[in-house]
Structure 1
Amino acid sequence: MKNFTLKQSWKKVYAKDADEQISTLRTYHMNDEEETEVEKEDIVEGHRYGNTLVPMSADDKENMKYRAEKCFKILGFTKGDKIKRHHYLGDGSSYVVPEKDDESAAIALSALINALYETNMVAIVRKVYSAASGPKLGCLIPHIKTEYECLIYVELPFREDIRQFTFGSLPITEDNKANVKNAPSADQLKAVDDLITDMDLSQTGDDEEDIVEALKPKFVFNPHFQRLYQCLQHRALNPDDQLPELSPLIANYLKPPQEIITKCEPGVEKIQKLFKLEEVKRKEDRTGEKLFKDGDEAEGGPVKKQKLDDDLQGGIWEKDIFWMDEAEGGPVKKQKLDDDLQGGMEDITKAEVTEVSCHGIQNN
Structure 2
Amino acid sequence: MASKEATVYIVDCGSTMGEREHGRTQTNLDWAMEYVWDRITATIATGRKTAMAGIVGLRTDGTHHDLGDEDEYAHITVFQGIGQVLMSHVRRLRNELVVSSTEGGDAISALVVAIQMIAKECKKLKYERKIVLVTDARGPMQADDLADIITKLKEDDIKLVILGVDFDDAEYGFKEEMKDAAKSDNEAILKQLCEDCDGAFGTLAQAVDELGIPRVKSTKPVPSYKGSLTLGNPEEYETAMSINVERYPKTMAASAPSASKYVNRSDMGDATQSTMTMNGDEAPNGSGDGLAAVKNALTYQIEDPDAPGGKRDLDRDELSKGYEYGRTAVHISESDRNVTTYETTPVLDVIGFVDKNQYERYLDMNRANLIIAQRSDEKAGMALSSFIHALYELDSYAVARIVPKENKEPRTLLLAPNIEADFECLYDIELPFAEDMRSYKFPPLDRVITVSGKEIKIHRNLLNDELQNAMSDFVDSMDLSTFGKDDEGQPTEYMPMDETYMPMLHRIHQVVKHRAVFPDGEPPPPYEILTRYSHPPEQLVKQAQPALDRVLEAANIKKVPPKARGRRGRKEAPKPLSELDVNALLAQDPSRKTKRIDPNNAIAEFKQRIANSEERDALKDACKQLKDIIYDWIKHSVGKVNYAKSVEAIRVMREEMNEIDLPGYYNEIMWELRTKLLAGELGENRGEMWYQIRVNKLGLLKASEAEGGVSDEEANKWRAAS
Per the normalisation by structure 1, the TM-score is 0.67
Tell me how far apart the structure 2 counterparts of residues 35 and 284 of structure 1 sit (CA, whole Å).
66
Q: CA 1:232–1:60 in structure 2 vs 1: closer, same or farther (change >3 Å)?
A: farther
Find the aligned partners of 1:250 and 1:206 in 2 and give their Cα distance: 17
Preserved CA contact (<8 Å) 1:13 1:19: no
> What does 1:237-316 align with in structure 2 at a 5 Å threshold?
237-257=517-537, 261-262=541-542, 264-275=544-555, 276-277=557-558, 279=560, 292-293=580-581, 305-307=589-591
- Which shows bigger deviation, 185-194 or 72-81? 185-194
Does the C-alpha gap of structure 1 residues 116 and 47 become closer, same or farther in structure 2, counting only changes over 3 Å?
same
Q: CA deviation at 1:109?
A: 1.8
Root-mean-square deviation (Å): 4.3
In structure 2, what residue type is equivalent to 1:238? Answer: F
Q: Which has the higher helix share?
A: 2
Q: Secondary structure at the match of 2:428?
A: strand
2:508 maps to 228
Structure 1 residue 155 corresponds to structure 2 residue 434: no
Q: Aligned-pair distance for 1:11?
A: 4.4
Partner residue of 1:25 out of 287, 293, 297: 297
- Match status 1:72 vs 2:348: yes
> Does 1:14 pair with 2:291?
no
Q: Which of 381, 384, 387 is 1:109 aligned to?
A: 384
**Which letter maps to 1:152?**
Y
Q: Which residue of 2 aligns with 1:219?
A: 499
Post-superposition Cα deviations, 1:112-150, rounded to whole Å, max 9, x if no partner, equal: 222222222111111110112111101111112223121
C-alpha displacement of 1:156: 0.8
Letter of the structure 2 residue corresponding to residue 133 of structure 1: K
**Amino acid in structure 2 at the alignment position of 1:307:** S
Partners of 2:542 and 2:492 in 1: CA distance? 17
Q: Which runs of 5+ in 1 are unaligned?
A: 310-341, 351-364
Unaligned 5+ segments in structure 2 are 1-249, 266-287, 564-569, 594-640, 650-722
1:95 is matched with which residue: 359, 367, 370? 370
Q: Is the 8 A contact 2:448 2:457 kept in 1?
A: no
Q: Tell me: CA distance 1:206–1:220, structure 2 relative to 1, closer, same or farther (3 Å).
A: closer
Letter in 2 for 1:127: I
* Pair 126,283 (structure 1): closer, same or farther in 2 beyond 3 Å: farther
Q: Give 1:105's aligned amino acid.
A: A
Give the Å deviation of 1:93: 1.4
SS in 1 for 2:435: helix
TM-superposition CA deviations, 1:325-353 (whole Å, max 9, x none): xxxxxxxxxxxxxxxxx99xx99xx9xxx
> How many residues are matched?
305
Q: Which has the higher contact order (CA 8 A, sep 6+)?
A: 1
CA contact (8 A) 2:447 2:456 kept: no
Which string of whole-angstrom CA distances, capped at 9 and with x for unpartnered residues, describes residues 224-250 of structure 1? 222022112211210122433433432
Deviation of the 1:70 alpha carbon: 0.8
* Matched residue, 1:2: 251
Contact 1:137 1:156 in 2 (8 A): yes
In the alignment, the residues of structure 1 paired with residue 457 and residue 546 of structure 2 have an alpha-carbon distance, to the nearest angstrom, of 32
The counterpart of 1:47, out of the listed 312, 324, 339, is 324
Give SS of 1:182's match: coil
Aligned-pair distance for 1:267? Answer: 3.1
For 1:248 and 1:189, locate their aligned partners in 2 and report how far apart those are by CA, in whole Å: 37
| Residues 172 and 184 in structure 1, CA contact (< 8 A), matched pair in contact too | no
Which shifted more, 187-196 or 117-126?
Answer: 187-196
Which 10-residue stretch deviates more, 2-11 or 118-127? 2-11
Taking only the aligned residue pairs, the percentage that are identical comes to 22
8 Å contact kept, 2:495–2:533: no
TM-score of the superposition, structure 2-length normalised? 0.36
Q: Which amino acid aligns with 1:2?
A: T
Aligned residue type for 1:5: A
Q: Aligned in 2, Cα 1:66/1:191: closer, same or farther, shift over 3 Å?
A: farther
- Stretch moving more, 13-22 or 183-192: 13-22
Q: 1:24 to 1:107 in 2, by over 3 A?
A: same
Question: In 2, Cα distance between the equivalents of 1:6 and 1:266?
Answer: 41
Distance 1:132 1:241 in 2: 53
Assess if the C-alpha contact under 8 Å between 2:264 and 2:292 holds in 1.
no
Partner residue, 2:339 = 63
| Residues 11 and 292 of structure 1: CA distance in aligned 2, closer, same or farther (over 3 Å) | same
Q: Secondary structure at the match of 1:141?
A: strand
Give runs of aligned pairs for residues 315-326 of structure 1, distance below 5 A: none
- The CA deviation at 1:200 is 5.5
Q: In structure 2, the residue corresponding to 1:97 is in which secondary structure? A: strand
Query: Is residue 264–residue 291 contact of structure 2 (8 Å, CA) maintained in 1?
Result: no
1:2, distance to aligned residue in structure 2 (A): 3.4
